[in-house]
Structure 1
């Protein structure tokens, strides 16, 4: 029996991101983690709050994402808010950092997956939404939901 090529299991999603930002392009990045962080993530103990991707010296780092300490780690505990290195190709880092510097865009974490035993992070090049854009999006979604409801009834 053959297994699917790339089974991805969702660990956690940054649901607020779609509301706050308009996504332009998405990428998949590996994540450099310690052992206690892996155990904590497998238990789903992650908070996205103010997470974003920062670029420094040709490297990409995940900043502002809280991974709760693993209670059974003992002395090998990790710092919950530490900067975590993202594993991307050099050309992807150069492309993203150039767009962030030029156009005032942001790179934000969207979702965390488990793929072939490794944690992968979906990141998006995004533009922040204004308050009226958020309201328009909510209205549009409500209208679509009502239209679907009416279609299913009639």
Structure 2
């Protein structure tokens, strides 16, 4: 338990996709490396990154790619700058890529980025969630459960006083 807490403290979060937990049932989490240009790493350290509208997908035999993630241009990079929404290759083992590709094609799942962070060694990582989409009634049910838990904790606090 202490090791998990220490590992989480070592992560420096760049961006989180909170909307993903609202729109999807997260079945599995996978940590992947990401291939970036130098100006992208500098821009990540500066902030303003958005992974809210992004998704991951397999590209014909070329591995897994992250699409539509917004990493702003780094001003000091001049002509060596990057395109803000370019596809970026993700680094995973072949077996993991094959398993994820199979889940996505056969299982009706999708790969959603949950968070982007720097690990304890300073490497940019992305946490992907193997997810299944929620229907509107599922979202309402989740919201009711959350409200009930909040109300229950208020009542318990008031009774303990």
Q: Shorter-chain TM-score: which interval?
A: over 0.9
- Hey, what's the Cα distance between the residues in 1 that align with 2:138 and 2:72? 33
How large is the Cα RMSD of the aligned pairs? Answer: 1.3
1:136/1:41 Cα in 2 relative to 1: closer, same or farther (>3 Å)? same
- Hey, what's the Cα distance between the residues in 1 that align with 2:13 and 2:27? 21
- Hey, what's the Cα distance between the residues in 2 that align with 1:10 and 1:47? 12
Gaps of 5+ in 1: none
Q: What is the aligned partner in structure 2 of residue 152 from structure 1?
A: 157
3-state secondary structure, aligned to 2:30: strand
Q: What is the aligned partner in structure 1 of residue 27 from structure 2?
A: 24
How much does 1:149 deviate?
1.7
3-state secondary structure, aligned to 2:114: strand
Which aligned runs of 4 or more in structure 1 are off by greater than 3 angstroms?
none
- For these two proteins, the number of residue pairs brought into alignment is 151
How much does 1:29 deviate?
0.3
2:104 matches 1:119: no
Gaps of 5+ in 2: 1-5
Report the structure, 1 or 2, having the larger strand content: 1
- Hey, what's the Cα distance between the residues in 2 that align with 1:136 and 1:44? 34
How much does 1:153 deviate?
2.2
- Hey, what's the Cα distance between the residues in 2 that align with 1:58 and 1:97? 12
2:106 matches 1:91: no
3-state secondary structure, aligned to 1:67: coil
Q: Deviation digits for residues 77-99 of structure 1, max 9, x if unmatched?
A: 10111010001111100000001
Asked if the contact 1:58–1:90 (Cα under 8 Å) also holds between the matched residues in 2, the reply is no
3-state secondary structure, aligned to 2:28: strand
Report the structure, 1 or 2, having the larger helix content: 2
Q: What is the aligned partner in structure 1 of residue 16 from structure 2?
A: 13
3-state secondary structure, aligned to 1:150: helix
2:54 matches 1:33: no
TM-score w.r.t. the length of structure 2 is 0.89
TM-score w.r.t. the length of structure 1 is 0.93
| Pick aligned residue for 2:46 from 26, 43, 50 | 43
